[in-house]
């Protein structure tokens, strides 16, 4: 594959010029971020935001409030995505783990060293290493360059690493490739996460990327994925 012909900072700057300011964060509370990831399976950001707002208004986001709710009420909220009953079970599981293992407060986890903090967050449904890193970044606890699947795909396509069959292997390869180019401050890291994600969702889609509209096509592997 062709090596990347754009630097990480130039890539992010180009995306900012194209998309404007990055999307606001759904929350800066660690437990709410875990809930956000699980509330509506495969829902768009807009539908997920609506479901999250409804949960806050009608039930609440504390473990005690979720555990006291009827599963049917949680499933009604999770209808924003597919498999609402599964999402409702996950919300109950999150509340149970937070209540029993973390005394209903995840904030002390954020103060742990990075490996221990990630391990604790991986106790929750749907939270692997990338999800844990995102929570640690958005809560400004550890300055890590968390990447979701969209951001990872973009970085592979512009040449930072070759996509592997194994997602974790791709994630590690990309992280190694960008490591020396990363900004150190939280604002820049969060901005990069959000813009890479948005680009992967809107133009650099998994199938049929819209390369002719892409603001980084000259630096990316234009045409390779068409």
Considering only the stretches 54-62, 105-113, 128-136, 212-220, report the one whose residues sit in contact with ligand SF4 under the rule CB under 6 A: 212-220
Question: Quick one: which of 142, 157, 191, 193 contacts ligand SF4 (CB under 6 A)?
Answer: 157
Q: In terms of C-beta distances under 8 Å and separation of at least 24 residues, what long-range contacts does 182-186 make, across chains too? A: 182/8, 182/145, 183/9, 184/143, 185/143, 186/137, 186/140, 186/143
Question: What residues have CB less than 8 Å from 146, skipping those under 6 apart?
Answer: 130, 133, 134, 136, 137, 189, 193
- Could you say whether residue 12 binds ligand SF4 (CB under 6 A)? no
Question: Quick one: which of 48, 134, 142, 217 contacts ligand SF4 (CB under 6 A)?
Answer: 217
Asked if 144 contacts 151 with a C-beta cutoff of 8 angstroms, the reply is no
- Could you say whether residue 84 binds ligand SF4 (CB under 6 A)? no
- Could you say whether residue 221 binds ligand SF4 (CB under 6 A)? yes
How many angstroms separate the CA atoms of 155 and 192, rounded?
11
Shortest distance in whole angstroms from residue 154 CB to ligand SF4 = 6
- Could you say whether residue 48 binds ligand SF4 (CB under 6 A)? no
Question: Quick one: which of 88, 136, 144, 154 contacts ligand SF4 (CB under 6 A)?
Answer: 154
- Could you say whether residue 65 binds ligand SF4 (CB under 6 A)? no
């Amino acid at each position: 594959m062709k090596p990347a012909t754009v630097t990480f900072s130039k890539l992010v700057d180009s995306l900012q010029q194209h998309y404007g300011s990055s999307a606001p964060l759904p929350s800066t509370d660690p437990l709410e971020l875990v809930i956000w990831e699980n509330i509506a399976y495969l829902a768009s950001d807009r539908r997920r935001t609506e479901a999250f707002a409804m949960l806050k208004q009608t039930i609440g986001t504390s473990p005690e409030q979720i555990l006291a709710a009827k599963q049917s009420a949680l499933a009604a909220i999770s209808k924003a995505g597919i498999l609402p009953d599964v999402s409702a079970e996950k919300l109950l599981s999150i509340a149970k783990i937070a209540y029993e293992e973390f005394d209903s407060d995840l904030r002390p986890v954020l103060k742990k060293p990075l490996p221990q903090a990630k391990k604790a967050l991986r106790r929750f449904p749907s939270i692997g290493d990338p999800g844990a890193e995102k929570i640690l970044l958005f809560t400004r606890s550890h300055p890590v360059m968390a990447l979701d699947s969209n951001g990872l795909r973009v970085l592979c396509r512009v040449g930072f690493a070759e996509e592997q069959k194994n997602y974790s292997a791709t994630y590690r390869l990309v992280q190694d490739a960008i490591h020396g180019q990363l900004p150190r401050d939280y604002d820049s890291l969060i901005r990069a996460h959000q813009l890479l994600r948005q680009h992967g969702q809107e133009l650099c889609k998994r199938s049929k990327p819209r390369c002719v509209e892409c603001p980084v096509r000259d630096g990316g592997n234009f045409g390779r994925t068409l």
